[in-house]
Amino acid sequence: MAHDMAHGLPVSDSHDGHYKGGWVRWLETTNHKDIGIMYLIFGFIMLFVGGAMILTVRLELFQPGLQFVQPELFNQLITLHGLVMVFGFAMPVATGLANYMLPMMIGAPDMALPRLNNWGFWILPPAAIMLTLPFFLGLMGIGPGAVDTGWTLYAPLSIQSGWGMDFAIFAVHMLGVSSILGSINVIVTILNMRAPGMTLMKMPLFAHGFLMTAVLLITIMPVFAGGVTMVLMDRHFDTHFFNAAGGGDPVLWQHIFWFMGHPEVYVLLLPIAGALPHVFSAFARKPIYGYKAQVYSFWAIAGLGLIVWAHHMFTSGMSLGSQIYFMYITMAISFPLAVLFFCWIATIWKGAMSFETPMLFALGSLVLFGWGGVTGLALSDAAADPQYHNAYFMVAHFHYAFYPTAVMGAMAAVYYWLPKWTGHMLNETLGKWHFWVTIVGFNLTFIPQFFVGLAGMPRRIPDYPLMFTEWNMLSSIGAFILGAAHLIFVYNVYKTIKGGDKAGDKAWEGAEGLEWTVPSPAPYHTFETPPVIK
Amino acid sequence: MRSLYKFGLSVLLALGSAAALAGYAFNFPEPVTPIARETLHMHNLVMVVILVLFFLVFGLLIYSFRTHSKSAGYQAGKFTGPTSRKQWLWVLSPFALLFFIDYVVFGIPAYHAVVLYEDTKTDAELVVKVTGSQWLWQYDFPAEGVSYTSRLITPRNQIDSGAAKGEHYLLEVDNPLVLPVGKKIRFITTSNDVIHSWWVPAFGVKRDAVPGFLREFWATVEKTGTYRGQCSELCGKEHGFMPVVVNVVSQEEFAKWLASKKPVALAPAPTAATEPAAQAVLAKAQ
The reported pLDDT for the residue numbered A24 is 87
- Please write the tens of the pLDDT for every residue from A333-380: 999 999 999 999 999 999 999 999 999 999 999 999 999 999 999 999
On the question of pLDDT at B14 being above 90, the answer is no
Q: Predicted confidence band at A161 (pLDDT cuts at 50, 70, 90)?
A: very high
Q: Looking at residue B157, which CATH number applies to its domain?
A: 2.60.40.420
Question: Would you place residue B15 in the very low, low, confident or very high pLDDT band (cuts 50, 70, 90)?
Answer: low
Q: What is the pLDDT averaged over residues B53-67?
A: 96
User: Does residue A267 surpass a pLDDT of 80?
Assistant: yes
Residues B143 and B266 in one domain: yes
Q: What is the pLDDT of residue B12?
A: 57
- Are A244 and B99 in contact (CB < 8 Å)? no
In angstroms, the CA A475 to CA A460 distance is 15
Q: Which residues of B touch A288 (CB under 8 A)?
A: 80
Give residue B3's pLDDT. Answer: 58
**Three-state SS sequence of A355-405:** CCHHHHHHHHHHHHHHHHHHHHHHHHCCCCHHHHCCEHHHHHHHHHHHHHH
Q: What is the mean pLDDT of residues B214-227?
A: 96
Q: Which of the four pLDDT bands, split at 50, 70 and 90, describes residue A249? A: very high
Rg for chain B, CA atoms, rounded = 25
Determine the residue among A331, A354, A367 to mutate to test chain B binding: the one whose Cβ has the most chain B Cβ atoms within 10 Å.
A331
A416-461 pLDDT, tens digit each: 999 999 999 999 999 999 999 999 999 999 999 999 999 999 999 9
A 10 A CB-CB count for A63 gives 15
Q: Of B28, B34, B2, B33, which Cα lies nearest the Cα of B16?
A: B28
pLDDT in the model for residue B241: 96
User: How confident is the model at residue B21, as a pLDDT?
Assistant: 45
Please tell me the predicted confidence (pLDDT) of residue B279.
47
Q: H-type helices in A193-204, by residue range?
A: none
- On the question of a cis peptide bond just before residue A156, with omega within 30 degrees of 0, the verdict is yes
Measured between alpha carbons, how far is A516 from A521 in angstroms, rounded to an integer? 10
Average pLDDT, chain B: 87
Q: How many angstroms separate the Cα of B20 from the Cα of each of B15, B25, B27, B47?
A: 9, 6, 10, 18
Does B4 have pLDDT greater than 70?
Answer: no
pLDDT above 70: residue B240: yes
Model pLDDT, residue B92 = 95
Q: How far is A463 from chain B (nearest CA, A)?
A: 6
Mean pLDDT of A147-162: 94
pLDDT at B6 over 80: no
Does A6 have pLDDT greater than 50? no
Are residues B186 and B58 both part of a single domain? no
For residues A137 and A489, what is the distance between their CA atoms, to the nearest angstrom?
31
> What digits encode the pLDDT tens for the residues B186-200?
999 999 999 999 999
B113 and B155 part of one domain: no
A234 exposed, middle or buried (CB, 10 Å; 0-12, 13-18, 19+)? buried
Determine what percent of chain B is predicted with pLDDT higher than 70. Answer: 84
pLDDT at A1 over 90: no
Alpha-carbon gap, residue A476 to B26, rounded angstroms? 17
- Residue B283, pLDDT above cutoff 90: no
pLDDT top residue among B8 and B173? B173
Residues B39 and B17 in one domain: yes
Q: Are residues B271 and B194 in the same domain?
A: yes
Higher pLDDT, A16 or A495: A495
Q: Phi and psi at residue B244, in whole multiples of 5°?
A: -115, 125
Is A425 within 8 Å of A507 (Cβ atoms)? yes
Do residues B46 and A397 touch, judged by C-beta distance below 8 A? no
Q: What is the pLDDT of residue B162?
A: 79
Inter-chain contacts counted by CB atoms under 8 A, chains A and B: 285
CB < 8 Å from B in window 75-134 of A: 75
Q: What is the mean pLDDT of the segment spanning B135-139?
A: 96
> How far, rounded to the nearest angstrom, does the alpha carbon of residue A427 sit from its chain's CA centroid?
25
Average pLDDT over residues A483-505: 95
From the list A250, A317, A349, the residue facing B64 with the nearest CB is A349
Contact A66 B160 (CB under 8 A): yes
CA angle B247, B240, A244 (to 5 degrees): 90
What integer pLDDT is reported at residue B276 of this predicted model?
46
- Tell me what the pLDDT averaged over chain A comes to: 93
Domain locations along chain A = 32-517
In this structure, the answer to whether residues B88 and B150 fall within a common structural domain is no
pLDDT at A464 over 80: yes
Q: Examine residue B179 and state whether it is found in any structural domain, yes or no.
A: yes
How many structural domains does chain B have?
2
- The yes/no answer to whether this complex scores an ipTM above 0.85 is yes
Q: Is B47 in the same domain as B154?
A: no
- Counting residues of chain A whose pLDDT is more than 90, the rounded percentage is 93
pLDDT of residue B10: 57
Domain that holds residue B230: 126-285
Tell me the pLDDT tens digit for each residue of A50-109. 999 999 999 999 999 999 999 999 999 999 999 999 999 999 999 999 999 999 999 999
Contact B278 A466 (CB under 8 A): no
Local confidence band at B163 (pLDDT 50, 70, 90 cut-offs): confident
Backbone Cα Rg of chain A: 23
Which of the four pLDDT bands, split at 50, 70 and 90, describes residue A468?
very high
Are A495 and A419 in contact, with CB atoms under 8 Å apart? no
Q: Which fold has domain A32-517?
A: Cytochrome C Oxidase; Chain A (1.20.210)
What pLDDT score does A71 carry?
A: 95
Mean pLDDT lowest for which of A1-15, A90-104, A391-405? A1-15
Q: Please indicate whether, in this complex, the C-beta atoms of A460 and B234 are within 8 angstroms of each other.
A: yes
Query: Are the beta carbons of A371 and B75 separated by less than 8 Å?
Result: no
Rounded Cα distance, B28 and A328, in Å? 24
The answer to whether A307 and A256 are in contact (CB under 8 A) is no
- Per CB-CB distance under 8 Å, the chain A contacts of B228 are 465
Nearest chain A alpha carbon to B207: A315
